[in-house]
Amino acid sequence: MSAPPLLTATGLARAWGGVRAVDDVSFSVAAGEIVALIGPNGAGKSTCFNLINGQLQPDAGRVLLSGRDITGAGPARAFRAGVGRTFQIAATFASMTVRENVQTALAAGRGQIMRPWGAGRNVARDDAMRLLALSGMAAQAERPAAELAYGDVKRLELAIALAGAPRLLLMDEPTAGMAPADRADLMRTAVAVARKQNIGVLFTEHDMDAVFAHADRILVLDRGRLIASGAPADVRDNAAVRAAYLGDGVLFAATSGPHPGDPKSS
């Protein structure tokens, strides 16, 4: 018996008003593995993602992190269990400097966030700088976060997510909203850090370049179901995946149903 995989999702299901947004989805992510979750509009990606990160309670199924049940645990508990995340629309603390953003995350991770004395600016300075160096933001440590270019906001967000020393990193459309040139760069940084620290990564993404360049494995959702899973080359050649994306095959059957849980992002 080997140790359980880092993340195991079994039989996840969630319906919105009768529509099965996520329908019996099972998969796993190993430590150090980079896994992409893709699918056409309304496939159920966001719902699936929110089931994994504990934001949503599934109708059925379980989410295990190293064998420990974190199903519907909520963000704070998922964080303590070792789940870090970045958001589709990047969320940083705009009233702080770049370094203070990471220091706040470090203070929270180390149980110091309720301490009403001592300078917050001096908490774990070195560790904050180390994380900023990892995400390529060391040179901008003293800048106000509110002035950063969006690509750098995304990098800062990565540093914040890493501050909790996560074992699993969830990235919701990490390159959304970035200039095309910055996208590859950010993905390279994230993947390099994950490999170095043996962090498992699950990410959703629209940019197929990013998906095929970085994912070890790709999961394809269509209308709530997992229709393919495998190495990038296999997924690219998969007939069901082609049909799901292009609407080939039966003329109209490929128009998918609405999933209220999926924020539209196109």
Partner 1 sequence: MSFWIAQFLTGLASAASLFLVASGLSIIFGVTRVVNFAHGAFYMIGAYVAWSLTERLAGAFGWWGGVLLAAAAVAALGALAEILVLRRIYQAPELFQLLATFGLTLIAADLVVMLWGPDELVGRRAPGLTGSIALFDQMIPAWDLFLIVLGPVALGLLWLLFNRTRFGVLVRAATQDREMAAALGVNEKWLFTGVFALGVFLAALAGALQLPRESVNHHMDLRIIVDAFVVVVIGGLGSITGAFIAALLVAQLNAFGILLFPKISLVIIFLVMAAVLAVRPWGLLGRPDVAQRPPAATSARPWRPLGAAGRLAMAALALAAMALPFISGEYLVIAATETLIFAILAVSLHMLLSVAGVASFGHAAFFGLGAYGVALAVKGLGLGMGAALALAPLAGLVGAGLFALAAARLSGVYLAMLTLAFAQILWSIAFQWVEVTGGDNGVLGLWPTGFAAQPAGFYWLTLGVAVLVIGASRVIMFSPFGYGLRGVRDEARRAASIGVRPGLMRWCAFAIAGTGAAVAGALFAFLKGSVFPDTLAIPVSVDSLAMVLLGGVQTTLGPLVGAVAYKALSIWLLSQTQWSKLALGLVILAVVLAFPRGLVGVVNQWRDRWAKRPPGSGEHP
Partner 2 sequence: MAAQQMPSGSPVASEPDADGLRVDGLNAWYGQAQILHGVSLDVGPGEIIALLGRNGAGKTTTLRAIMGLVRRSARQLAFRGADIGPMPPFAIARRGLGYVPEDRRIFTDLTVDENLEAGRQPPRPGAPQWTPERLFELFPNLGRMRGRPGGAMSGGEQQMLAIARTLMGNPYMVLLDEPAEGLAPRLVEDMAAALLTLKREGLSLLVAEQNLNFARLLADRAHVLAGGATHFSGTMAELDADPAVRDALLAV
Q: Give the residues lining the site for partner 2 (CB under 8 A).
A: 38, 40-42, 89-90, 148, 150, 153, 173, 176-180, 183, 206-209, 220, 235-236, 241-242, 245-248, 251-258, 264-266
Q: Which does 178 bind (CB under 5 to 8 A by kind): partner 2, partner 1, none?
A: partner 2
List, as one string, the DSSP characters of 25-50. EEEEE-TT-EEEEE-STTSSHHHHHH
List, as one string, the DSSP characters of 158-194. HHHHHHT--SEEEEESTTTTS-HHHHHHHHHHHHHHH
Helix (H) or strand (E) holding 66: none
* 22 is an interface residue for partner 1 by CB under 8 A: no
In the structure encoding, which two tokens stand for residue 184, read together?
A: 């590859």
Q: Which does 120 bind (CB under 5 to 8 A by kind): partner 2, partner 1, none?
A: partner 1
User: CA-CA distances (angstroms) from residue 44 to 51, 53, 114, 164, 261?
Assistant: 11, 14, 37, 28, 7
For partner 1, give the closer residue by CB, 108 or 254: 108
The letter for the amino acid at 98 is V
Q: Is the dihedral of CA 71, 74, 75, 76 positive or negative?
A: negative
Tell me the number of residues near partner 1 by CB under 8 A. 44
Among 15, 31, 96, 213, binds partner 1 (CB under 8 A): 96
CB of 257 vs partner 2, minimal distance in Å:
6
Chain contacts with partner 1 (rule: CB under 8 A): 74-76, 79-80, 84-85, 87, 91-97, 100, 103-105, 107-109, 112-121, 123, 142-147, 157, 160-161, 163-164
